[in-house]
Structure 1
């Protein structure tokens, strides 16, 4: 009997300590890790976002790159830290929607984390050389159906978001296009502008400069809505591929087991940050359209993308590098 009372007392004490900690949260700087090196897309999204979040939370936020295996190292790290809200992860979707289908990971894409909120989305953009005979996606599909073994597309690498965009187009259009993976977006874009590859699925950020200077022609974006950075470029959905959605995104998350009060505090601050017009404009210039979602909405998005990309990976027999 005494032992049972002691266990109950300890449980109540622990719950009260967690509640008290949550009530005063945050009372020291917060660390936000990234899955990639400084200077990349994750860093470009994190810096302005944290500048808006700091006054809302009343604490300094320290951004710490923790690169490796396309965000996987950071995901594994976050899954093991204390759920006190002082170590978070600004994550892209890869470690949670595609990586588990490509190799064994040490975490569960949903249950190992507390998903605080989706931040912004960015699709791929399908581009060709300005002298290309392809004026539209319909031209590409028609040519690929007429000569199924002739045409190819380039991307920044195997099993990256732009590779999945190309494979999704193949799946919904029924055409055959050979994938040419490069070791990064820069050499892929160089070859496209040199007319060495017929077409490219690129990140929006990498295509902004060449597009504005007339060094490439944009055929479509792969997001469900037009990109703020390319307002005159149609979506695949507009072009007849209804429901086409191949987007990468960023979300703020922590380890599993975070107290509901902590999640609510962070989620409310994140949603408030999303109302900042200057932040929205900065994201737009990066080709990442602001889309701030609640924890529940974020979980549903991960579930949907995990299922969708699992099918694409299986059907296309995509293997990790």
Structure 2
């Protein structure tokens, strides 16, 4: 055997040996409970989606999956925890682009977008502008537009945290109407909805998923859908554009990410399991019952969505239109 051939065989054996640990690691993963960190308070859109994802993902992985709510700083508290977690695939972050790319444009965060590897989207939902059903001042969206324009800051408007899609939708509406709200920031939709129901705020920008039960009960009314089309769960509610006030797109995408230090084989295992979970008929039904859509994609597609949102938020931050409350 020539030296050249012996060298090739040695390299081939070494390469084959190098794949054995990664194959064994992927096959044995997960070996304990998997945690999905939700960086917002219980009761909001991300939390509700997290609960149904955890059930289906647990079936796909053959392991218990739990939700851990870590609210604060527009999602930065929970995201920072995942960025610092052991890169073994057992700690995931459930979030949209706001937490990953928008919040760091507004304030100092214990992470950058490079600290996360996108795995797959899991859900998309429409956003609505909400008011109390018994608020006679705001019978419809036209009333809101007129009332808000009659005096700057007359309406207290809540959103789910700095840099969230809810916050961005609020800014879009202020620009569209040429007015300013008295803005109240919360640690998620749950606390904001409680204050809206209790009369502490006048309107709230929220996803259909977390607000639908209150709309159906008659406690809250949706003044408009903040998206390009009407929502199947609320077919009678028109979009801002259909009402003649211009374009606002508050479509919310939520996905699962992991620390970028996580080995590629574990990331591939997780991404495949997530797509399997999203296709689970029970998750499809649960998402539909919430007023949203179970929706998956490749890591590359999720990455492109994050990049697109980063382009928007970074430009808004440079223009001084995106600031923490």
TM class by smaller structure: 0.7 to 0.9
- Alpha-carbon separation, structure 2, partners of 1:34 and 1:123: 23
Q: Which position in structure 1 is the counterpart of 2:35?
A: 32
Q: Describe the shift of the 1:55–1:100 C-alpha distance in structure 2 as closer, same or farther (beyond 3 A).
A: same
Larger mean CA deviation between 40-49 and 136-145 belongs to: 136-145
1:44 matched to 2:48? The reply is yes
Q: Which position in structure 1 is the counterpart of 2:310?
A: 306
The DSSP-based 3-state class of the residue aligned with 1:79 is: helix
TM-score normalised to the size of structure 2? 0.77
- Alpha-carbon separation, structure 2, partners of 1:182 and 1:19: 44
Larger mean CA deviation between 94-103 and 182-191 belongs to: 182-191
- Contact 1:122–1:223 (CA under 8 A) maintained in structure 2: no
1:162 matched to 2:149? The reply is no
Q: Describe the shift of the 1:21–1:65 C-alpha distance in structure 2 as closer, same or farther (beyond 3 A).
A: same
- Contact 2:130–2:223 (CA under 8 A) maintained in structure 1: yes
Q: Describe the shift of the 1:151–1:52 C-alpha distance in structure 2 as closer, same or farther (beyond 3 A).
A: same
- Contact 2:117–2:258 (CA under 8 A) maintained in structure 1: yes
1:256 to partner: Cα distance: 1.2
Larger mean CA deviation between 22-31 and 194-203 belongs to: 194-203
Per-residue CA distance 1:96-141 (angstroms, 9 max, x = gap): 13210111223221x2121100111234321234454555435544
- Contact 1:154–1:188 (CA under 8 A) maintained in structure 2: no
Q: 1:152 aligns with which of 150, 155, 159?
A: 155
The size of the alignment, in residue pairs, is: 310
Q: Which position in structure 2 is the counterpart of 1:108?
A: 112
Written as runs of structure 1 = structure 2, the 5 A alignment for 1:1-321 is: 15-26=18-29, 28-36=31-39, 39-41=42-44, 42-57=46-61, 59-63=62-66, 65=68, 67-69=70-72, 70-109=74-113, 111-130=114-133, 132=136, 134=138, 136-141=140-145, 144=148, 147=150, 149=152, 151-156=154-159, 159=162, 160-171=164-175, 173-181=176-184, 189=193, 192=196, 199-239=203-243, 244-313=248-317, 315=319, 317-321=321-325
1:281 to partner: Cα distance: 2.4
Q: Describe the shift of the 1:197–1:273 C-alpha distance in structure 2 as closer, same or farther (beyond 3 A).
A: closer
| RMSD value, Cα | 3.6
- Alpha-carbon separation, structure 2, partners of 1:179 and 1:78: 33
4+ residue runs of structure 1 moved beyond 6 angstroms? none
Q: Which position in structure 2 is the counterpart of 1:4?
A: none
- Alpha-carbon separation, structure 1, partners of 2:18 and 2:136: 65
- Contact 1:274–1:280 (CA under 8 A) maintained in structure 2: yes
Structure 1 spans left out of the alignment, 5+ residues:
1-7
- Contact 1:30–1:85 (CA under 8 A) maintained in structure 2: no
TM-score normalised to the size of structure 1? 0.77
- Contact 2:39–2:77 (CA under 8 A) maintained in structure 1: no
Q: Describe the shift of the 1:104–1:186 C-alpha distance in structure 2 as closer, same or farther (beyond 3 A).
A: closer
The DSSP-based 3-state class of the residue aligned with 1:98 is: helix
1:292 to partner: Cα distance: 1.4
- Contact 2:169–2:205 (CA under 8 A) maintained in structure 1: yes
